[in-house]
Amino acid sequence: METLVCTTPGHFEYQKAEKPVLAPGHTVLKIKRIGICGTDLHAFEGTQPFFSYPRILGHELAGEIVETDDAPGFEIGESVTFVPYFNCGNCIACRSGKPNCCTSIKVSGVHIDGGMTEYLSVPSYSLVHGEGLSFDELALVEPLAIGAHGVRRAGVKPGDVVLVVGAGPIGLGTMEFARIAGATVIALDINDSRLRFCREKIGVSHTVNAMTENVTDKLSALTNGDMPTVIIDATGNLKAINSAFAYLAHGGTYALIGLQKSEISFSHPEFHKREATLMSSRNATRQDFEHVISSMKSGLVEPTNYITHRVHFGEVMDNFESWLDPENGVIKAMVSID
């Protein structure tokens, strides 16, 4: 079978490999779709934390079961996705029902080789039924689940005003699920085309461009002086993360989905007087995957809105670097393997 390996930052190489042999407790998938995410792009750039090379990227995946062991309820030929954060089941996080932050977690395409390959073996416990969704839709479940988890983690409820910082794919999904939770959503970014996408494609009525507008004044005007009750960062950008502390309402919650390699900093007196809550949001859980699939099936989310670029597996190496350029307007690049 053919694989695409990120050998070093900035370099890909197509390589031949043996098709995986079915192992106990595992399922072999024929990969059909691969969504390109920020993690993949950062790995290619050499800026992704917890990363080593060479690595086969890819964890936004949809496939078809070709062989399986210990997967009750799943059938050969079934269309599926899977939870790509493989956990130990024994550590304090796993025992507490938080496998998404397992102490020895292995994320497909990050800590271990992922799905830029024709066939992939995954633990059978990670499988998620396709529920009749298309391969395109199934490959989008994982990135949307990241946003859904962040919204659930932050306890977003009807009446909240949620500021989502960053209108990339993860931020857009976060906006969708904050809206589904009943909140008023405000999008903050520095890219007008991304903000236009928020308004036109996912129904976000309020947007702020941090490059051209006074963010504090705009947020104050939009909230009648209260400021956002929940802020969720989906950028991983140090300046954006640090700046957003000043935008938080008293009694508010700040959740970090985006990951920064450096130290964040903020004014303790300003944070303290708000009695604010700061939290991280890592990966997602099966509950989030199921919430995303249910929302897709009920029409609350239109996942194909996100797909702006399509290529075949054999064309990835020639196109990948271009997806790093904001001028190309990439929201989600989708790779097909037929």
Q: Hey, how many other C-beta atoms are within 10 angstroms of the C-beta on 322?
A: 12
Residue 210 has pLDDT above 80, yes or no: yes
Nearest in space to 87 (alpha carbons), one of 122, 117, 55, 60: 122
Q: Hey, how many other C-beta atoms are within 10 angstroms of the C-beta on 218?
A: 18
The CATH number that applies at residue 201 is 3.40.50.720
Q: Is there a single domain that holds both residue 322 and residue 232?
A: no
Is 21 inside a domain boundary? yes
Q: Is there a single domain that holds both residue 36 and residue 97?
A: yes
Q: Is there a single domain that holds both residue 135 and residue 152?
A: no
Q: Is there a single domain that holds both residue 276 and residue 312?
A: no
Q: Is there a single domain that holds both residue 11 and residue 123?
A: yes
Q: Is there a single domain that holds both residue 161 and residue 240?
A: yes
Residue 213 has pLDDT above 90, yes or no: yes
Is 291 inside a domain boundary? no
Q: Is there a single domain that holds both residue 113 and residue 190?
A: no
Which of the residue ranges 35-39, 154-158, 277-281 would you say has the lowest mean pLDDT? Answer: 35-39
Write down the pLDDT at residue 234: 97
Is 132 inside a domain boundary? yes
Q: Work out how many domains the chain is built from and give that number.
A: 2
Q: Hey, what are 205's tokens? A: 């009525």
Write down the pLDDT at residue 105: 96
The CATH number that applies at residue 112 is 3.90.180.10
Q: Is there a single domain that holds both residue 232 and residue 177?
A: yes
Is 60 inside a domain boundary? yes
pTM here is 0.95
Q: Is there a single domain that holds both residue 129 and residue 211?
A: no
Whole-angstrom distance, CA of residue 11 vs CA of residue 130: 33
Is 285 inside a domain boundary? no
Q: Is there a single domain that holds both residue 218 and residue 311?
A: no
Whole-angstrom distance, CA of residue 298 vs CA of residue 302: 10
Is 93 inside a domain boundary? yes
Is 297 inside a domain boundary? no
Contact by Cβ (8 Å): 154, 58 = no
Is 286 inside a domain boundary? no
Residue pLDDT, tens place only, 243-271:
999 999 999 999 999 988 889 999 999 99
* Residue ranges making up the domain that contains 327: 2-139+302-336
Q: How far is CA 154 from CA 150, 243, 255, in A?
A: 6, 19, 6
